[in-house]
Amino acid sequence: MTEYAGNTVPFFFGTDENAYGVARMYYDLTGQKAIIYGAKNLSATRFSKFTDVTVIPHLSQTIAFAKAMQNGILDRIKSFKRVVLIGLGDAYAKLIREYAYFPDNVVRPYPDAEMFEQVTDKARFYQLLEKTELKPAEYVELSKNDTERDVKSPFPFPVMLKATDSVSWGSMKYSDHRKDYVLNSNEEINHFLRLAYHQGYQRNFVLQRFVAGEGQEYTFSAYVDQHHHVRGMALGHVALEDHTPWGIGNHDAIFPVQESELTDKICQFLEDIDYTGIANIVFRYDQKTQQFLALELNARLERCSYWSALNGVNWVELMLKDADDEFANVPDDEMTKVMTQPDQIMLWLQVSPRVFKRYAPDSPAKNVAVNLIRQRRWRYGFKDKRDWNPQRARMYHFIHVSNRYHYETWGNVKVNPVVRFFQLTRWAIVRTINKVGPKYSLMN
């Protein structure tokens, strides 16, 4: 365990897998529980010795967040010498960035308000990239006015339809609402575009060329200190992507890789725009153009953030050191990077090895991941032997069965009908038991 001897305490907002990952990072540093606030008691952070969770209904909404601050959170913040506030979802990050009444002992590791809005709006982020060597996948921007005409895709099908504003889009709930849409016709584009605006969405969309190919997604994260220098950097190769309608864009298997030309460009970009805080950028490698193409930037840690801690980069440590201004006298180009030597890298899994090997589509990335599993060089996102107890064991079983059902239902790889029947039966039994028992919840 790396010991942290500074004076800053982190407050985390969100209770999903990301929260469990940062709680593990904080426990690795201090041996102490992480202070966590969230709107729901999600399974990842339940029954854990790593977490001190306070559930406040609707906390991710503006009014509830402000009330919660005034009704106890600010008093708790004031009891510490210094506090760094870390939002683990898009809504929490934006709320922390915008709230105007924090005391002087609060540190917010985020870019300024204008930069925050620019990089987290997909279309504006793409426009920012046009001035650099980094490129987005080709796109056109669509607005509510486009519902008055028949939109025709300038790209071959399938195409991606994505809301530019993930916060307002993520808060919407209606039938056929998805994180992102993979569409196969102009009729589908117009249907889902009109449906979204009819349901009350106000911002724009991007219609984007779909970058095909299994095992071609990469996730990059960096921490940029208050002096606008990159202090931590990690590039991971995604070996399995979530295929559920609500989870498209999430990652279920990652291992570190080295692509120095790409990471050098990203770090230079972040420093040139005077960025501050965590930046997570998702790329796909386009085999047609032989380029890495950017899909989005998140001004927060990724849901699978613990994969980088497994490989040498503890984001919580970097944020605490920056809050203590420990980087003021450190050379500008000094940074922590993930291990990329073949004999050192670790695979992070959000599904069990059995689910991964059965449902991950064939690709070179899958071959690397399977080899790491054979060498026992992998760890599971929900599972830590220091935090194992009967309640978490039952939760692990529920999640394992749930993952197998969801991948069989929405994944690209299918098993035979007999196995399918037993999976459906098993899932029905486990889900029924869960409804009358612990009521594990995986959804935000």
Asked whether residue 199 falls in the same domain as residue 237, the answer is no
Which backbone phi and psi does 287 adopt, to 5 degrees?
A: -65, -25
Looking at residue 247, what is its pLDDT? 75
- Whether 130 maps to a domain, the answer reads no
Are 349 and 381 within 8 A, CB to CB?
yes
- Domain range for 81 is 1-108
Contacts of 71 (CB under 8 A, 6+ apart): none
Helix (H, G, I), strand (E, B) or coil at 182: strand
> How do residues 107-154 score in pLDDT, each as one tens digit?
999 999 999 999 999 999 999 999 899 999 999 999 999 999 999 999
From 254, 361, 372, 297, select the one nearest 115 (Cα to Cα). Answer: 297
Measuring CA to CA, which residue among 324, 231, 317, 349 is closest to residue 34?
A: 317
Indicate whether 365 and 241 sit together in one domain: yes
User: What's the CA gap between 224 and 203, in Å, rounded?
Assistant: 29
Residue 42's CATH number: 3.40.50
What is the reported pTM? 0.94
Question: What pLDDT shows up at residue 436?
Answer: 65
Question: How crowded is residue 425: how many other Cβ atoms within 10 Å of its Cβ?
Answer: 10
The H-assigned helical ranges of 337-416 are 353-359, 364-374, 390-410
pLDDT attached to residue 444:
39
164 found inside a domain: yes
Q: Are residue 57 and residue 171 in the same domain, yes or no? A: no
Domain boundary among 169, 187, 209: 209
Domain boundary (165, 190, 209) is at 209
Whether 350 and 376 map to the same domain: the answer is yes
Same domain, 269 and 290: yes
Q: State residue 437's pLDDT score.
A: 66
Q: In this structure, what DSSP letter does residue 121 have?
A: B
Tokens coding 421: 């029947």
- What is the DSSP pairing of strand 277-286 with strand 106-107? unpaired
Cis preceding linkage at 57, omega within 30: no
DSSP code per residue over 409-421: HHSS----HHHHH
pLDDT less than 70: residues of the chain: 1-2, 413-415, 436-444
Cα 180 to chain centroid distance, Å, stands at 14
CATH number of the domain encompassing residue 305? 3.30.470.20
Instruction: Report the amino acid identity of residue 34.
Output: A
Query: How many separate domains does the chain show?
Result: 4
Which amino acid, 296? E
241 and 373 fall within a common domain: yes
Is 265 within the bounds of a domain? yes
The reply to whether 127 falls in a domain is no
Q: Are residues 61 and 16 in the same domain?
A: yes
Domain assignment present for residue 124? The answer is no
* Residue at token pair 């690709």: 363
- In this prediction, residue 432 carries a pLDDT of 78
pLDDT reported for residue 440: 66
**Are 118 and 164 in contact, with CB atoms under 8 Å apart?**
no
CA distances from 182 to 154, 192, 283, 405 (A): 15, 11, 17, 21
